[in-house]
């Protein structure tokens, strides 16, 4: 069976994939907002970019785990 068919066995797997994808899209939205053009100092920009990257990594990990785990 395909990964998608296996993923639909548990009702929480599609939810995990959806939330993961939304986190990645939120990361892209933060980066598309160009925080370096809004803030006058570099400190808040670095914190915002690092937070967005961590959010994207968590989202990718959640989507990957929800689609590839068997249990």
Q: Is 31 exposed, middle or buried (0-12, 13-18, 19+ CB in 10 A)?
A: middle
pTM: 0.77
**What is the residue extent of each domain of the chain?**
3-68
Around Cβ 25, how many Cβ atoms within 10 Å? 12
Helix residue ranges per DSSP H, 1-71: 3-7, 12-32, 35-38, 42-68
Of 55, 37, 59, 35, the closest CA to residue 46 belongs to 35
φ, ψ for residue 2, nearest 5 deg: -80, 165
What is the structure's pLDDT at 34?
85
6-62 confidence digits (pLDDT tens): 555 677 788 888 999 999 999 999 989 888 888 788 998 899 999 999 999 999 999
For residue 71, pLDDT beyond 70: no
């Amino acid at each position: 069976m395909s990964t998608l068919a296996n993923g639909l066995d548990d009702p929480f797997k599609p939810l995990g994939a959806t939330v993961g994808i939304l986190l990645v899209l939120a990361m892209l939205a933060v980066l598309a907002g160009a925080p370096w053009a809004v803030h006058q100092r570099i400190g808040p920009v670095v914190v915002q970019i690092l937070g967005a990257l961590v959010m994207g990594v968590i989202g990718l990990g959640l989507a990957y785990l929800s689609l590839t785990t068997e249990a």
